[in-house]
């Protein structure tokens, strides 16, 4: 997918250039009213089109801005089926390129309406391009615990110590030889075997060196000790866990390239303890008509699995309820039962981004566990993150209780939220 996003980047860059040139001549055609166009666009087109990315239809910003033939665009938007039926070459090309998905016919729109839409699309695309050109967007903060640092430092020190020992030994040997040479005892080493024998002698000498033996043992113990330590801490930690799912569901396409909001599929995260996995009916909002990827000529076997599980026949577009079977996704993130974690508290109240805990999901071809999910991980973040008190009903209540305490008045459990359902039920 990286190559896809690269191509997309290059593509949008060249589009930016084209858009720049087109803008110079834009007064020639941009006569519509963008505000009116926005309303018409949102009412009729957003189910299938976005300005900047492909949904069911192509991204309209780049296409409409680079295609200045407004007469043709108007004909297409008002009745694309008529153009296709008339074997208009351009229309057929587009139709085939998008796996022969059908665009709705909009005979009810007037030429004026379409001019407004086009004007809106061009303005919106230009605004997005200018915004995108500005730097700033930053990725999710990576958390590296100090324990990792300590371990790396330790390994570094050990390696350094080894190097120093080797160098010192070399120096000692050279000095000894110089000494021998000075005393006229030096014998030229010519034979290859002699060198080999000398090497053994060197090893034997080292083995007799008490300091060296002590140091080697020390390093060995340290290395073994830290390995045991790390292994023990990582028992039952499944960071990086990536099971094989029944459908290879690509988050990078859906949440990344298509920018579908996480909430569309994981709405639970905003209002309850569990984020929830969407039912296949949610997928069918789009996949009823999309049975393949952008450039593919054949239907995708992965998408077919959705149809099979629902007993759906894409030919007749009918469901056979006797053939349905549940989709058995394999759970990736899993806390033990004795730990209580609530999504809405973190997503809605603390306003944390999903990516803070789940990593760059929108770039993952298949999801894996990004964070360790250890108690240390929870506690560290709780120590480092400031609570946002503004507009938070829970803390407004706490403030009231605080004032009552200062005034020396009695406080009941109910005042501290003790009769809220969530305190006792989940």
Query: Please, which of residues 39-78 interact with ligand HEC by CB under 6 A?
Result: 44-45, 47-49, 56-58, 60, 63-64, 67, 73, 76-77
Place of tokens 């054949």: 298
Which residue from 117, 110, 115 is spatially nearest to 41, judged by alpha carbons? 117
Alpha-carbon span 10 to 349, nearest angstrom:
39
**Of 79, 169, 300, 344, the one binding ligand HEC by CB under 6 A:** 300
Q: Which stretch binds ligand HEC (CB under 6 A): 165-173, 188-196, 223-231, 255-263?
A: 255-263
Q: Which stretch binds ligand HEC (CB under 6 A): 5-13, 193-201, 221-229, 301-309?
A: 301-309
In the complex with ligand HEC, which residue's Cβ is closer, 215 or 360?
360
Helix (H) or strand (E) segment spanning residue 312: strand 312-313
Alpha-carbon span 320 to 268, nearest angstrom:
29
Q: Which stretch binds ligand HEC (CB under 6 A): 26-34, 157-165, 216-224, 298-306?
A: 298-306
Alpha-carbon span 76 to 46, nearest angstrom:
17
| Distances from the Cα of 187 to the Cα of 11, 168, 200, 365, angstroms | 72, 23, 18, 66
**Least gap, CB of 107 to ligand HEC (angstroms):** 11
Segment 189 to 208, residues that bind ligand HEC, using CB under 6 A: none
**Of 237, 350, 401, 415, the one binding ligand HEC by CB under 6 A:** 350
**Of 8, 29, 319, 329, the one binding ligand HEC by CB under 6 A:** 329
**Least gap, CB of 156 to ligand HEC (angstroms):** 29
| Distances from the Cα of 406 to the Cα of 79, 211, 401, 410, angstroms | 72, 67, 9, 10
State the binding string over 101-140 for ligand HEC (x if CB under 6 A, else -): xxxx-x----------x-----------------------
First to last CA, the chain: 39
CB-based contact 205:198 (threshold 8 Å)? no
381 binds ligand HEC (CB under 6 A): yes
In the complex with ligand HEC, which residue's Cβ is closer, 216 or 344?
344
**Least gap, CB of 148 to ligand HEC (angstroms):** 17
The tokens of 297 are what? 């000529």
């Amino acid at each position: 997918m990286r190559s896809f996003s690269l191509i997309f980047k290059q593509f949008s860059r060249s589009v930016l250039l084209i858009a720049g040139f087109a803008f110079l001549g834009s007064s020639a055609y941009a006569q519509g009213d963008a505000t009116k166009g926005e309303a018409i666009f949102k009412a009729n087109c957003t189910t299938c089109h976005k300005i900047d990315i492909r949904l069911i239809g192509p991204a309209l910003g780049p296409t409409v801005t680079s295609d200045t033939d407004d007469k043709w665009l108007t004909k297409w938007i008002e009745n694309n089926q008529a153009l296709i039926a008339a074997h208009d070459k351009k229309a057929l090309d587009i139709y085939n390129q998008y796996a022969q998905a059908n665009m709705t016919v909009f005979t009810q729109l007037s030429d004026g309406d379409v001019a407004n839409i086009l004007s809106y699309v061009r303005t919106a695309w230009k605004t997005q391009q200018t915004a995108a050109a500005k730097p700033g967007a930053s990725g999710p903060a990576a958390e590296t615990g100090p324990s990792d640092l300590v371990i790396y430092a330790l390994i570094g020190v050990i390696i350094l110590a080894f190097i120093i020992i080797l160098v010192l030994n070399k120096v000692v040997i050279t000095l000894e030889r110089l000494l021998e040479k000075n005393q006229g005892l030096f014998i030229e080493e010519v034979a290859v075997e002699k060198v080999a024998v000398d090497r053994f002698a060197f090893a034997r000498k080292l083995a007799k060196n008490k300091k060296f033996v002590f140091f080697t043992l020390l390093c060995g113990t340290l290395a073994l000790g830290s390995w045991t330590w790390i292994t023990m801490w990582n028992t039952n930690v499944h960071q990086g866990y990536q099971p094989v799912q029944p459908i290879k569901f690509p988050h990078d396409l859906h949440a990344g390239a298509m920018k579908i909001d996480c909430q569309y599929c994981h709405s639970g995260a905003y209002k309850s303890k569990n984020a929830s996995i969407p039912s296949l009916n949610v997928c069918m909002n789009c996949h009823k008509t999309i049975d393949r990827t952008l450039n593919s000529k054949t239907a995708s076997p992965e998408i077919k699995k959705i149809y099979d599980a629902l007993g759906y026949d894409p030919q007749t577009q009918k469901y056979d309820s006797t053939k349905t079977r549940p989709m058995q996704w394999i759970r990736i993130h899993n806390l033990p039962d004795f730990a209580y974690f609530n999504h809405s508290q973190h997503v809605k109240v603390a306003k944390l981004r999903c990516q803070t805990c789940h990593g760059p999901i929108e770039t993952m071809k298949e999801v894996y566990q990004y964070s360790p999910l250890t108690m240390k991980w929870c506690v560290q973040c709780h120590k480092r993150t400031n609570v946002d008190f503004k507009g938070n009903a829970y803390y407004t209540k706490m403030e009231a209780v605080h004032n009552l305490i200062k005034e020396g008045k009695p406080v009941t459990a109910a005042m501290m939220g003790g009769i809220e359902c969530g305190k006792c039920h989940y």
